[in-house]
Amino acid sequence: SGVPLDARTHSAKDNLVGYYRNNHFTTAGTWEDLSTNDNHGTVVGGTTTTFFQEGLTANLDNQGFPINITHPSNGAVNFIGTTSTNASSYIDLNKDIEIEGDYMVMLWFKGNPSNLPYIWGHSGNDYFRMADKDTFTLKSNNVTKTLELETSPNKDILTEQWHHIALTRNNGTLLMYIDNEAQSSGTLSDTATLKIRALMRRDLTSDNYGSGMIDEFFVYDNFNANTVSKNYNHGKGKHKN
């Protein structure tokens, strides 16, 4: 199992390092880390660029006007990315999540792959992004890995469709899952530390952002294919296309 670096003690039962679910906020207004590790995220960009969809205010902007976004019944967060007015939206986790060895990072995503969105990042040497509708790029400790999706059957990330994305490392083997189906694999040394600080931005100082909707963002410091399947099956009923 992986080793969480500079992280508070977490549940040994499920090895959960971070868990962020739609619009759960702390009393301080941060995006609540439900893993009990208290890595609560700060939403940057304001309500004009980041929307938490839930309840009576779903699909309304900060002035009460409708915005045409389809979201799961229990909510999701929508990132506008960088607009023509240079507004941007992302989440700062307020703590560097760093893991050596085995890990799993998974989330639901809905957006446009042609925007080449950054899903998470820490620096120019550590990030995860879409490079095309059928290709992802992982950069870890300045080592770049290209992860391609299967072509038979075709598993392209479809525009504005919900997909469950899981990136895993198990004993030095990288493996991606799209909608609970194993995809591209590769090798990455266990000493190449997974680093995450921002969601939908390459790092806190870059102008490289992501756009789209995310939900149910999990980080684990172990690998268990059953957990990937469990999280997918739990969420697929809420993330219908």
Q: What is the pLDDT of residue 9?
A: 38
Q: Which two tokens stand for residue 213?
A: 């909707």
What is the distance between the alpha carbons of residues 54 and 67, in angstroms, rounded to a whole number?
Answer: 13
Q: Which two tokens stand for residue 79?
A: 């990132």
Q: What is the pLDDT of residue 111?
A: 87
5 pairs with which residues across the strands?
A: 98
Query: Peptide bond preceding 113: is omega within 30 degrees of 0, i.e. cis?
Result: no
Q: What is the pLDDT of residue 27?
A: 66
Write down the residue that tokens 């995220």 correspond to: 41
What is the distance between the alpha carbons of residues 22 and 216, in angstroms, rounded to a whole number?
Answer: 7
pTM score of the predicted model? 0.82
Write down the residue that tokens 């059957």 correspond to: 153
Q: What is the pLDDT of residue 119?
A: 94
Q: Are 238 and 73 in contact (CB under 8 A)?
A: yes
Buried b or exposed e, range 80-94, using 16+ CB within 10 angstroms: bbbeeeeebbbbbbe
Q: What is the pLDDT of residue 44?
A: 81
4 pairs with which residues across the strands?
A: 99
What is the distance between the alpha carbons of residues 154 and 164, in angstroms, rounded to a whole number?
Answer: 15
Q: What is the pLDDT of residue 39?
A: 84
Count of Cβ atoms closer than 10 Å to residue 159 Cβ: 13
Q: Which of 18, 8, 201, 202 minimizes the C-alpha distance to 103?
A: 18
Q: Which two tokens stand for residue 141?
A: 């400790």
In one letter, which amino acid is 154?
A: N
Ordered per-residue pLDDT tens for the chain, 241 residues: 554 443 333 344 469 999 987 666 676 767 888 888 888 888 887 544 455 554 434 444 445 544 544 555 456 677 766 544 444 778 899 999 999 999 999 999 998 888 888 999 999 999 999 999 999 999 999 999 999 998 767 788 998 899 999 999 999 999 999 999 999 788 999 889 999 999 989 999 988 888 888 889 999 999 999 999 999 999 898 888 8
pLDDT one-digit tens code per residue, 58-72 = 444 445 544 544 555
Q: What is the pLDDT of residue 46?
A: 53
Q: What is the pLDDT of residue 47?
A: 44
Buried b or exposed e, range 173-199, using 16+ CB within 10 angstroms: ebbbbbbeeebbeeebebebbbbbbbb
Q: Which two tokens stand for residue 38?
A: 């208290």
Q: Are 146 and 188 in contact (CB under 8 A)?
A: no
